[in-house]
Amino acid sequence: MSPAQIVTNLVATLLIFIVASFFVAAEFALVQTRPSQLEDMLAKGQGNKKKLRRALHMTHNLNEYLSTTQVGTTLVGVVLGWFSADTFATILEDLFHLTPMNDSLIKSVSAILGVVLLTYLEVVLTEVVPKNIAIDKPVPMMMGIVTPLHIFHTIVYPFVWLLNTSSNGILKLMGFTPADEENEVYSQSEIIKLSRNAVHGGSLDKEDLTYMERAFELNDKVAKDIMTDRTRLSVLDSTDTIAYALKKYLEEGYSRFPVVRDNDKDDVVGYVYAYDIVQQSQIDGNVPVTRIIRTIITVPESMPIQDILHLMISKHTPIVLVVDEYGGTSGIVTDKDIYEELFGSVKDEIDDVSDDYIIKDKDGQVHVSGKTTLYDFERFFHTDLKAFQDSDIITIGGYMMEHYPNLKKGESIELEGYKFTLDSIEQGFMRWFIVEPIKDKDQKDDQSKDEN
C-alpha cells in the first residue's frame, strides 16, 4: 500500500468516524429526548418550530427512527471493517520492520494490533464520547441531528420499513408484542423518582414534588385514615336551643356541630353551621337547633378520599359522616381534613397562634415575638389580662415599649401572673420575650409536696 493511499484511507477513516459518531449521537438523542420537553418548547415559542415539530414526530415514531440510526451504524461499521483495519495493519507493519522480527510474525502481530487499535478508536470516538454528549445535552443534540437524520431516513426508508416489518413479524411469531412508545406508562414510584431527579436538576420546585407525593398518598387513603374520631366529636342534641349552641360555639370555636338524638352519637340526624346559629340567635335563641339543621351525608369507613371529595363537590357539602359496618358513627371528615392531606396543616382562627410568633423550645420555654398581638397572647395562654384589655396598643412589643421603655435585654417584669423576660432587641424594637406563668404560693407548695 503506497503512502498516498495510506493517507487517503486515514482521511476517509476520520470522515467515517464522524459519520459513525453522528448515528450514535442521534440514537441516544432520540431515546433521551422526551416528547413533553419538545411540546413545552413549542408552547413557549422557543427554538426553530419546524425542527421542533420534526423532532417531535421522530420521538413519537421512535422505533422507526431508531431503526434508521441502526442502519447507518451498521453501514459505517461495514465500511470501517472493509479497509480501515488493513490500513492500520500496514502502518504497524512498516513500524515493526524496524525491529528484528521476521515477516510472518510482523504480519500476524500487525493484523491483530490493527484490529485492536481500530476497535479502541471506534469505541471511544464513535460510541462513548457522542453517547455521553447526547445523554448530557439531549435536546440541543436533537436539534443538531434532526435535519440530516430526516434526509438519511428518507433515503433508506424502504429498507427501514422492511426491517421493521420483518422484526415485528418475527416477534409476533415468538409470542411477543412489538414495543409501542405511544403506550408507555409510568408507575407512581417511577413518576416520583423522575420528579426527584427533576428537583435535583433544578427543573422542578421542591414544593411541587411534595404536593405530588401527597396526592399519590391521598389515592391510597380511605375515610377512616383521616376522619375525626367519634370520641373527639363535639355534638349538639336535637333538643338543645340555639342559645346553648351559640354558647358552645363561642367556647369551642368549631364552625360545624353534628346534631344527635338522645345524646347518642350513633344517631346523627344532621349538622348545624355556626353562621346559621349566629343568624338564628338574632331572631329567636330559644328555638331548638333542629330549626336550622342541615342534612349530613354518610359514607363507609372504606371509601377512598378522592371519592369523598368528589361527593362533597357534587353534593355541595363540606362535611360527611363516617359510619362503620354496623351503621354506627365512626367519625366525620370535613373538606379541611382533605385539604390538609394535600397541603399540610392549615391553621384557622380557632387554632393556636402561628408558630412564627409564639414558639415553645425543647426546654419548654415559651418565646413570644414582639409582633404578637395582645389578643393572640391571651388566646395562646387562655387568659384575660386586664392591662391588655384596657390598652389601645396592638402588639406585645408596643405595649412593653410604652409601659417599660427602660427594660433592657435579660431584665424581667411581672404582669398579672406572667413573667416577661426581654430576650432580644432589634433596631431599638423589643423583638422577643421569654414568657412564663408565675405560680402562686399555694401552687408551689402543692408542687413541692408532689415532688417529696
- pLDDT tens profile 221-237: 899 999 999 999 999 99
CATH superfamily of 223-343: CBS-domain (3.10.580.10)
The separation between the first and the last C-alpha atoms of the chain, rounded to the nearest angstrom, is 107
Q: Report how far apart, in Å, the C-alpha atoms of 154 and of each of 147, 157, 371 are.
A: 11, 5, 72
Q: Is the pLDDT of residue 158 over 80?
A: yes
* Confidence at residue 236, expressed as pLDDT on a 0 to 100 scale: 95
Q: Please report the DSSP string for 199-253 in residue order.
A: HHHTSS-HHHHHHHHHHHHHHT-BHHHHPEEGGG---EETT-BHHHHHHHHHHH-
Find the DSSP H helices in 253-316: 274-283, 305-315
The residue among 29, 40, 37, 66 whose CA lies nearest residue 181 is 66
CA angle 397, 389, 433 (to 5 degrees): 25
Q: Does domain 358-451 have CATH number 3.30.465.10?
A: yes
Q: Is the pLDDT of residue 349 over 50?
A: no
Tell me which DSSP letter residue 351 carries: S
- Under a CB-based contact definition with an 8 Å cutoff, are residues 204 and 225 in contact? no
How far apart are alpha carbons 34 and 139 in whole angstroms?
A: 9
Interaxial angle between packed helices 396-403 and 374-381, expressed in degrees from 0 to 180 and rounded to the nearest 10 = 110
Q: Which three cell numbers stand for residue 102?
A: 521476521
Q: Binning pLDDT at 50, 70 and 90, where does residue 449 land?
A: very low
Q: Is the pLDDT of residue 97 over 70?
A: no
**In degrees rounded to 5, what are phi and psi of residue 319?**
-145, 140
Q: Binning pLDDT at 50, 70 and 90, where does residue 300 land?
A: very high
Q: Which residue has the higher pLDDT, 189 or 139?
A: 139
* Range 235-245 average pLDDT: 94
Q: Is the pLDDT of residue 157 over 90?
A: no
* Confidence at residue 311, expressed as pLDDT on a 0 to 100 scale: 93
How far apart are alpha carbons 268 and 254 in whole angstroms?
A: 17
* Range 367-387 average pLDDT: 85
- If one counts every other C-beta atom within 10 angstroms of the C-beta of residue 404, the result is 15
* Confidence at residue 440, expressed as pLDDT on a 0 to 100 scale: 60
Q: Which three cell numbers stand for residue 27?
A: 440514537
* Range 19-41 average pLDDT: 87
The helix/strand/coil state of 439 is coil
**In degrees rounded to 5, what are phi and psi of residue 332?**
-130, 155
421, with CB counted inside 10 A (0-12, 13-18, 19+), is middle
* Confidence at residue 331, expressed as pLDDT on a 0 to 100 scale: 94
Q: Binning pLDDT at 50, 70 and 90, where does residue 85 land?
A: low
Share of the chain above pLDDT 70, in %: 87
Q: Binning pLDDT at 50, 70 and 90, where does residue 282 land?
A: very high
Q: Binning pLDDT at 50, 70 and 90, where does residue 14 land?
A: confident
Q: Is the pLDDT of residue 31 over 90?
A: no
- Under a CB-based contact definition with an 8 Å cutoff, are residues 323 and 300 in contact? yes
Q: Calculate the CA 196 to chain-centre distance.
A: 7
Q: Mean pLDDT highest for which of 34-43, 90-99, 436-445? A: 34-43
3-state helix, strand, coil in the chain (%, to 5): 60, 15, 25
* Range 81-99 average pLDDT: 68
The helix/strand/coil state of 346 is coil
- If one counts every other C-beta atom within 10 angstroms of the C-beta of residue 48, the result is 13
How far apart are alpha carbons 78 and 159 in whole angstroms?
A: 17
The residue among 360, 352, 198, 230 whose CA lies nearest residue 301 is 230
Q: Report how far apart, in Å, the C-alpha atoms of 434 and of each of 194, 256, 440 are.
A: 46, 36, 19
- Under a CB-based contact definition with an 8 Å cutoff, are residues 201 and 279 in contact? no
Tell me which DSSP letter residue 327 carries: S
Q: Which residue has the higher pLDDT, 113 or 421?
A: 421
Q: Which three cell numbers stand for residue 316?
A: 355541595
Which residue type, as a one-letter code, is found at position 398?
A: G
**In degrees rounded to 5, what are phi and psi of residue 414?**
-110, 135
Average pLDDT over the chain reads: 83
How far apart are alpha carbons 373 and 257 in whole angstroms?
A: 29
* Range 186-191 average pLDDT: 72
Q: 0.75 cut: is pTM over it?
A: no
The residue among 112, 130, 134 whose CA lies nearest residue 122 is 130
Q: Calculate the CA 302 to chain-centre distance.
A: 26
CB within 8 A of 122, min separation 6: which ones?
17, 20, 80
Domains of the chain, by residue range, sit at 3-183, 188-219, 223-343, 358-451
Q: Is the pLDDT of residue 170 over 50?
A: yes
- Under a CB-based contact definition with an 8 Å cutoff, are residues 77 and 98 in contact? no
Q: Which of 53-57, 196-200, 282-286 has the lowest mean pLDDT?
A: 196-200
* Range 132-153 average pLDDT: 89
